[in-house]
Amino acid sequence: MSHFSPVDWVAFTRGLLPPSESLKIQSHLDHGCEECLKSAAVWRFDQRSTREDEEFARVAEVAAKVQAAYSKARKLLAETGNETLLTELDALSRALDQLAVLARSRKKPSPSG
């Protein structure tokens, strides 16, 4: 039995194959080919992990934009002397810093766990 190429696996896990090709791979998996079941698991994990990394990158980007807006707002508030608003704004900044650190430090676990 011939197995599938990495290109096939990427297209399969992303849902990019024509239905007939996707059915062919799924049928092969349903018949229990151990080698292909392992390959499918790795490629599915990789696809999930890539999506998660992209989501964390977007979170980091948004956090950076909010941090820039915070800096501008804090400067304006400091000029007015409103300490209550400055305290609340500083708490928001600390939360955003934690979110940005989390997004930047995101590491991919290995497929084996």
User: Please, what sign has the CA dihedral across residues 98, 100, 103, 104?
Assistant: negative
Predicted structure pTM score: 0.42
For the chain, domain boundaries? 6-104
> pLDDT of 41-59, one tens digit each?
887 877 776 777 677 777 7
Kindly report which listed range (11-15, 85-89, 97-101) carries the lowest average pLDDT score.
97-101
From the list 21, 26, 18, 62, the residue with the least C-alpha distance to 44 is 26
Rounded to an integer, what distance in angstroms lies between the CA atom of residue 52 and that of residue 16? Answer: 19
pLDDT at 1: 46
DSSP 111: T
* Torsion angle in degrees (nearest 10) through CA of 22, 25, 27, 28: 180
pLDDT at 104: 66
